[in-house]
Amino acid sequence: MNEPDAALKTLGVSLGDRSYPIHIGPGLLGDPQWLTPHLAGRQVMVVTNDSVAPLYLETLKQGLPDDLDVREVILPDGEATKNLANVERIWDALLAAGFNRRCTLIALGGGVIGDMAGYAAASYQRGVAFIQVPTTLLAQVDSSVGGKTGVNHPRGKNMIGAFWQPRAVLVDTHTLATLPPRELSAGLAEVIKYGLIRDVDFLAWLEASMAMLRDLDAAALTTAIERSCSIKAEIVAEDETEQGVRALLNLGHTFGHAIETHQGYGHWLHGEAVGAGMQMAAELSHRLGWLEASDVARVRNLLAAAALPLAAPGDMRAEDFLSLMRLDKKNLDGRLRLILLGCLGDACVHDATPPEMLVSLLEEFPRA
């Protein structure tokens, strides 16, 4: 570690007896003080993928005490692998090792690895401990915090899963040095989301700092991750199982999931689809009279500065969006529920968009 201690931040997620810390800082991965207090017993299964393992698996293992029984499952990389068959591979490895209900799973990788390892932990022997060690910006600011775990189904994204909280989240910002630029942009989409739904000052800071973030400026990254995780932790503490305010975290996601499902998982990155979806949500909020045209332009410019796509896939018709959006988990008893923006920095759940307004938006939105 050559950064000062000020670069290390610890936040808490407040969920009663399931509360846990998020440690953020450079070089945390190989330091035993961060993982050891959160292990349930001596049996540890590291779940990672074949892109991340060569980069960080040995460093992580060096950060574990010597007297543990440490095993690993190395899955293929990519959103297309987020399915039940790969979760079964984790269960098979746990059973082959004879691991009991006091074992601990450590998810080392991006959101796909975290979601699968978390769901495997939630369902192994009816629930065992797990720790998130996210190595992508997207996972660091979003999926590793809040306890949503699960896998995709051919008929829809994240349809099978559980709410299962980690014992701790360990964000080593050094891991972003090896992240492909496209994945960095995808993570920035979720960072921008926090500004849009809850914090217009953070949004303004992002407008000023986007170039530094894309240059991997360490201080700027730490600030962005910390502020993002703080907003997410606040919202999750208010509403763990998404009965209310937690739905706001899905700004852009109903449109985005439709893009991901239609294109086939893995072609668009999740954050890219969410970026396009936030642009659609902003435009719809404008058509409802809530946002100014200049607000929509700010959203578009910030997404452009993050190098995110501003157009939907060329082969997606309005009816493709509509049929896929009807499967969204937020819908209740047949009514389409969307997260929209009352103003920049304040999102709301809306289930009364005039159908013809939605259809014309979907028809008129730019296509790639």
Taking the least distance from each CB to a copy of itself, the nearer of 272 and 328 is: 328
- Residue 46 labeled ligand binder: no
239 to 84, 114, 163, 236, 309: CA distances (angstroms): 27, 21, 12, 5, 31
Residue 289's SS3 state is coil
* DSSP label of 33: H
Is the distance from CB of 298 to CB of 207 less than 8 angstroms? yes
Binding site for a copy of itself (CB under 8 A): 41-43, 84, 88, 91-92, 95-96, 98, 100-102, 119, 122-127, 148-150, 153, 155-156, 158-163, 241, 326-327, 329, 331-333
Taking the least distance from each CB to a copy of itself, the nearer of 212 and 245 is: 245
Q: Which of 227, 246, 286, 350 is catalytic?
A: 246
Q: Which of 89, 193, 253, 350 is catalytic?
A: 253
- Please say if 38 is a catalytic residue: no
Q: Which of 232, 286, 337, 350 is catalytic?
A: 232
- Please say if 190 is a catalytic residue: yes
Least separation in angstroms between residue 225's CB and a copy of itself is 25
As a whole number of angstroms, the distance between CA 132 and CA 22 comes to 9
Taking the least distance from each CB to a copy of itself, the nearer of 238 and 292 is: 238
Taking the least distance from each CB to a copy of itself, the nearer of 149 and 230 is: 149
Q: Which of 2, 126, 155, 335 is catalytic?
A: 126
- Please say if 253 is a catalytic residue: yes
- Please say if 257 is a catalytic residue: yes
- Residue 82 labeled ligand binder: yes
Least separation in angstroms between residue 80's CB and a copy of itself is 18
As a whole number of angstroms, the distance between CA 300 and CA 202 comes to 16
Q: Which of 183, 190, 272, 283 is catalytic?
A: 190
As a whole number of angstroms, the distance between CA 184 and CA 314 comes to 24
Q: Give the pairing type, strands 346-350 and 338-343.
A: antiparallel
- Please say if 250 is a catalytic residue: yes
Q: DSSP for 220-254, please give it.
A: HHHHHHHHHHHHHHHHHHH-TT-SSGGGGGGTTHH
- Please say if 126 is a catalytic residue: yes
Is the distance from CB of 230 to CB of 22 less than 8 angstroms? no
Least separation in angstroms between residue 323's CB and a copy of itself is 10
How many other CB atoms sit within 10 Å of the CB of residue 339?
Answer: 25
Least separation in angstroms between residue 126's CB and a copy of itself is 5
- Residue 241 labeled ligand binder: no
- Residue 27 labeled ligand binder: no
- Residue 311 is which amino acid? A
Is the distance from CB of 75 to CB of 86 less than 8 angstroms? yes
Taking the least distance from each CB to a copy of itself, the nearer of 43 and 144 is: 43
Our CA dihedral for 256, 227, 235, 240, rounded to 10 degrees, sits at 80
Annotated binding site for Zn(2+): 190, 253, 270
Could you tell me which residues are annotated as the binding site for NAD(+)?
77-82, 111-115, 135-136, 148, 157, 175-178
Active site residues: 126, 148, 190, 232, 242, 246, 250, 253, 257, 270
